[in-house]
């Protein structure tokens, strides 16, 4: 159960947005995805989380809502050597959508202050299975890095530094390779002043974008942001967006 002291910053923003009536959620997500032409439709598309009462995030492969079982299995096997008790990346918001003429995914990584952008690498494993997965994840990220560099030079994705950032791009690349169009959005929630005790909140879009680009510059080529990639003929976008807090949670 979520306690009130946890309901702040980017978590509060994500839950309040996805807790709106479904047509409003679909509208918010479609507006965030502008420039990519992704469209989210209430009644057709599914997303997680779904507000404060249904706050669980998704790994994309934990339910059939987001990917066909065969794609989920291949994605999991690409990332993990031993699946049992292993952890997969969770997404702050994930939604099915229409991208151009194909069914795809909108993936959101949300931040509300500068310290949420962690430079840490993946923690060294303790168990034997953990060590096998550590190696497998490193290989998967290297594969994604090579694939992205074949399209645009300058990628330096790594398991051992900026791990959260790198796994977001690695998964987006792999999804496109598996035939799933993807829009990855880095979303900055603005004016989350309750987070002053944790870091510096973003006061405007320019502050958020400058912070993100500075954080990502050693891993992600600057030209990658806002660019339409074709990965094995499948569309992928990497966008920087922002949204004011508090999110409008008035019911119609």
Average pLDDT, the chain: 94
Note the pTM of the prediction, 2 decimals: 0.95
Give the rounded distance of the alpha carbon of 126 from its chain centre.
Answer: 27
> What is the arithmetic mean of pLDDT over 180-187?
98
Angle at 17 between CA 219 and CA 242, to 5 degrees: 40
pLDDT surpasses 80 at 47: yes
- Of the candidates 121, 109, 92, 102, the one whose C-alpha atom is nearest the C-alpha of residue 36 is 102
> What is the arithmetic mean of pLDDT over 214-221?
97
Identify the pLDDT of residue 6: 79
- My answer on whether omega of the bond before 89 falls inside 30° of 0, hence cis, is no
Q: Read off the tokens for 197.
A: 């005790």
Which 3-state string (H, E, C) describes 53-88?
CCCCCECCCCCCCCCCHHHHHHHHHHHCCCCCCCCC
Residue reference for tokens 């496109």: 176
Domains of the chain by residue range? 4-244
> What is the arithmetic mean of pLDDT over 219-236?
97
> What is the arithmetic mean of pLDDT over 114-139?
96
* Angstrom distance (rounded) from CA 218 to CA 210: 14
- Residue 252 banded pLDDT, cuts 50, 70, 90: very low
Identify the pLDDT of residue 64: 86
Identify the pLDDT of residue 245: 87
- Residue 250 banded pLDDT, cuts 50, 70, 90: very low
Identify the pLDDT of residue 72: 97
> What is the arithmetic mean of pLDDT over 161-176?
98
* Angstrom distance (rounded) from CA 7 to CA 194: 10
Could you read off the pLDDT of 96-121 as tens digits, one per residue? 999 998 999 999 999 999 999 999 99
Could you read off the pLDDT of 135-167 as tens digits, one per residue? 999 999 999 999 999 999 999 999 999 999 999
> What is the arithmetic mean of pLDDT over 215-227?
97
* Angstrom distance (rounded) from CA 12 to CA 188: 12
DSSP the chain: ---GGGS-HHHHHHHHHHTS-HHHHHHHHHHHTTTTTEE--TTT--EE--STTS---B-SSSSTTTS-HHHHHHHHHHH-S--TT-----BSEEEEEEETTEEEEEEEEEESBGGGS----PPPP-SHHHHHHHHHHHHHHHHHHHHHHTTSTT----SSSSHHHHHHHHHHHHHHHTT--EEEEEEEEE--GGGTTTS-BB-SHHHHHHHHHHHHTTTS-GGGTT-EEEETTEEEEEEEEEEESS------
* Angstrom distance (rounded) from CA 87 to CA 66: 18
φ and ψ of 107, to 5 deg: -120, 130
Identify the pLDDT of residue 248: 58
pLDDT surpasses 60 at 9: yes
CA 96, 98, 99, 101 dihedral sign is positive
Could you read off the pLDDT of 65-107 as tens digits, one per residue? 999 999 999 999 999 999 998 999 999 999 999 999 899 999 9
% residues pLDDT > 70 (the chain): 97
């Amino acid at each position: 159960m979520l306690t009130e002291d946890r309901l702040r910053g980017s978590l509060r923003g994500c839950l309040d947005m996805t807790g709106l009536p479904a047509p409003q959620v679909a509208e918010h997500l479609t507006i965030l995805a502008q420039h990519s032409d992704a469209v989210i439709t209430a009644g057709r598309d599914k997303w997680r989380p779904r507000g404060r009462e249904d706050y669980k995030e998704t790994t994309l492969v934990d339910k059939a809502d987001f990917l066909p079982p065969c794609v989920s299995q291949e994605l999991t096997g690409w990332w993990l050597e031993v699946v049992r008790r292993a952890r997969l990346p969770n997404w702050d918001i994930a939604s099915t959508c229409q991208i151009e003429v194909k069914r795809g995914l909108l993936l959101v990584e949300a931040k509300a202050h500068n310290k949420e952008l962690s430079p840490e690498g993946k923690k060294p494993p303790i168990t034997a299975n953990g060590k096998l997965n550590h190696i497998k994840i490193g290989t998967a990220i290297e594969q994604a890095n090579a694939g992205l560099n074949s399209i645009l030079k300058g990628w330096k994705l790594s398991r051992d530094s900026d791990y959260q950032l790198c796994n977001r791009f690695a998964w987006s690349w792999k999804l496109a390779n598996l035939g799933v169009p993807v829009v990855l959005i880095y979303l900055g929630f603005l004016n989350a002043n309750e987070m002053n005790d944790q870091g510096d909140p973003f006061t405007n879009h320019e502050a958020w974008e400058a912070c993100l680009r500075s954080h990502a510059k050693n891993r992600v080529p600057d030209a990658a942001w806002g660019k339409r990639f074709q990965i094995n003929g499948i569309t992928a976008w990497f966008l920087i967006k922002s949204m004011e807090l508090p999110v409008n949670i008035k019911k119609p």
